[in-house]
Amino acid sequence: MRISKNIAIGHLAAAAAYVIFGINVVVCRDIAIEGHVEPIVLFSMRALMAGALFWLLSLFTPKEQVPPRDLLKLAGAGILGLFLPQLTFLHAIAHTTPVDLSVMSTTTPIFTMFVAAIFLKEPITWKKALGVALSFGGILWLILQSTFGGNGPSETEPIGIMFCFANYIVFALYLGTCRNLISRYTVVTSMKWMFLVSFLISLPFSVPKLATTEFALVSSQVWWEIGFMIFFSTFVAYYLIPVGQQRIRPTLVSMYGYLQPIIAIAVAIWTGMDRLTPTKLLAAVAVFLGVWVVNQSRAAGQEKK
């Protein structure tokens, strides 16, 4: 099946975003372990700096008028797609290991598939369901072997699991309900308003924490990691996600979330925190096979050209 250039760009954008998110898991775990900057303060920093970059970029792109009704909708999209997912993620990573958090992220396509079926009437074909099951099975096998396969009990806490699933459910709602809204405007226009709203919402919660944040104690390594989180994990990745949303269906965008645990594990291996095993190779094969099966479904062939 030949894929149009427009759809190919959507796939590449979604894949690149989730590669960044995979690296971000390990980066944010380091920031959380040091513990000098609380999650809500980190979120406000992300929203302020990434939002400023989108507003700056908007000076060099075609101007778009957004009616008040759509501004309200973009505010809601900012809450669902930025404020709640990023805040729950930053809380989750403080109470889970990077691999466990990444593995649990594989539930997002399942939630997204059902949300898209309800709100966008996107059909759940047998191939799509099989692809999701294959990928989820591979990752479930990975976490069972990594956590209970002789390496001792998991460091993940129940509260971390709760924040993880809250994160994935909210982001699935964003992917499944906001595609039509995001498609009306350029990425820069939608993101600049979404980040502005998210930053303003976070201020009442973050300002009191700023007074007690000891920025002088933050190590230089963590400052570099915060810089990566703001520029790549927030500005670049959240530029790429709408590019994917505008060109391929929500379920396919979320399916690339299966890249996240693979990348997180690869980074852990590169840094000496983990090792490559046949189990992880088998899980990776299952993940990519599942993505391929979903792409072969009839619904995938009906993508926007």
Both tokens assigned to 11: 């796939």
Which of the 8 DSSP states describes residue 65?
Answer: -
CA-nearest of 232, 303, 261, 239 to 81 is 239
Residue-wise pLDDT for 31-72, tens only, equals 988 889 999 999 999 999 999 999 999 999 988 999 999 999
pLDDT at 303 over 60: no
Each domain of the chain, given as residue ranges in start order, spans 5-302
pLDDT at 280 over 90: no
Model confidence, pTM? 0.77
Rounded CA-CA distance 240/15 in Å is 9
Confidence grade of residue 263 (pLDDT, cut at 50, 70, 90): confident
pLDDT of residue 113: 72
Contact between residue 155 and residue 93 where contact means Cβ atoms under 8 Å apart: no
Q: CB atoms < 10 A from the CB of 36, how many?
A: 14
Half-sphere exposure of 160 (CA within 13 A, CB side): 20
Rounded CA-CA distance 78/286 in Å is 33
Residue-wise pLDDT for 68-109, tens only, equals 999 999 999 999 999 999 999 999 888 887 767 776 776 666
Residue-wise pLDDT for 100-139, tens only, equals 777 677 666 667 777 777 776 777 777 777 877 887 777 6
pLDDT at 302 over 70: no
Confidence grade of residue 304 (pLDDT, cut at 50, 70, 90): very low
Rounded CA-CA distance 114/186 in Å is 27
Which of the 8 DSSP states describes residue 156?
Answer: -
Question: The dihedral of CA 28, 147, 109, 303: what is its sign?
Answer: positive
Residue-wise pLDDT for 142-190, tens only, equals 656 655 554 444 466 778 878 988 988 898 888 778 878 888 999 899 9
